[in-house]
Amino acid sequence: MKNVLIKKLEHAKDLPLPNYESVSAAGMDLRAALEAPMTLRPGERKLIPTGLQMALPEGFEAQIRPRSGLAIRNGITMLNTPGTIDADYRGEIKVIAINHGEEEFVVEHGDRIAQMVIAPVKQFPMVEVDELDETERGDGGFGSTGV
Ligand SMILES: O=c1ccn([C@H]2C[C@H](O)[C@@H](COP(=O)(O)OP(=O)(O)OP(=O)(O)O)O2)c(=O)[nH]1
Ligand SMILES: [Mg+2]
């Protein structure tokens, strides 16, 4: 089992580490690490700090995704979902939240605002060619196989 190394910044010292909330959960919830509550007006987007820095094992990324409960109840989602955390990123993990709801939404210190899924990724060399091989699909896409 590979470890993810995680460091708490000062404003997250009192918060628990991200944790799988059920036995086979894909994601770990991320909490807002705030000195004061943050308000998202309808349509507004804000960068929410988590107070966490992380070192992922090589060959992995972390994806920052919305929580479905916040999305359905409050219209809160991540604008860039899935956000990408690179294995070599050592800065604070932050969440780009947007309020798609009709009501103001207040984020308090410690609120679980997003979830993080750690997934394998591969890097590939790009090789430029003049022609590509032919396939049955060819350039058909965007609904070409019907509904
Ligand atoms: O939701 C996110 C997305 C990204 N990041 C951090 C980690 C990631 O490794 C870094 C860069 O993200 P990305 O590549 O998506 O942003 P960019 O606009 O391409 O910035 P850069 O030029 O720094 O790569 O920002 C976050 O903390 N939260
Ligand atoms: Mg980038």
**Alpha carbon nearest to ligand 1 atom 20, residue:** 84
Phi and psi torsions of 19, nearest 5°? -145, 145
Residue 8 lies in a domain: no
Task: Write b or e for each residue in 85-122: b if 16 or more Cβ atoms lie within 10 A of its Cβ, otherwise e.
Answer: bebeeeebbbbbbbbebeeebebebebbbbbbebeeee
CB 85 within 8 A of CB 116: yes
ipTM of the complex: 0.98
Residue 91 lies in a domain: yes
Residue 37 lies in a domain: yes
Cα separation, 107 vs 131, in Å, equals 52
- H helix count then E strand count, the chain: 1, 11
Residue 103 lies in a domain: yes
pLDDT in tens, 66-108: 999 999 999 999 999 999 999 999 999 999 999 999 999 999 9
Which of 84, 94, 96 gets mutated to test ligand 1 (max ligand atoms within 8 A of its CB)?
Answer: 84
Q: Is 85 annotated as a binding residue?
A: yes
pLDDT in tens, 119-144: 999 999 999 999 999 999 999 999 99
Q: What's the domain count of the chain?
A: 1
Q: Is 110 annotated as a binding residue?
A: no
Residue 63 lies in a domain: yes
- Residue matched to tokens 């580490």: 17
CB 37 within 8 A of CB 56: no
Host domain of residue 85: 25-120
CA 53 to chain centre: 14
Has residue 1 got a pLDDT over 80? Answer: no
Query: Is the alpha carbon torsion for 110, 61, 96, 76 positive or negative?
Result: negative
Residue 87 lies in a domain: yes
CATH label of the domain that carries residue 69: 2.70.40.10
Task: Please give the model's pTM, rounded to 2 decimal places.
Answer: 0.95
Neighbouring CB atoms inside 10 A of 55's CB total 14
Q: Which ligand is nearest to the CA of 88?
A: 1
pLDDT in tens, 16-41: 999 999 999 999 999 999 999 999 99
Residue 139 lies in a domain: no
Q: What angle is formed at CA 118 by the lines to CA 117 and CA 124, rounded to 5 degrees?
A: 125
pLDDT of residue 9: 98
Residue 14 lies in a domain: no
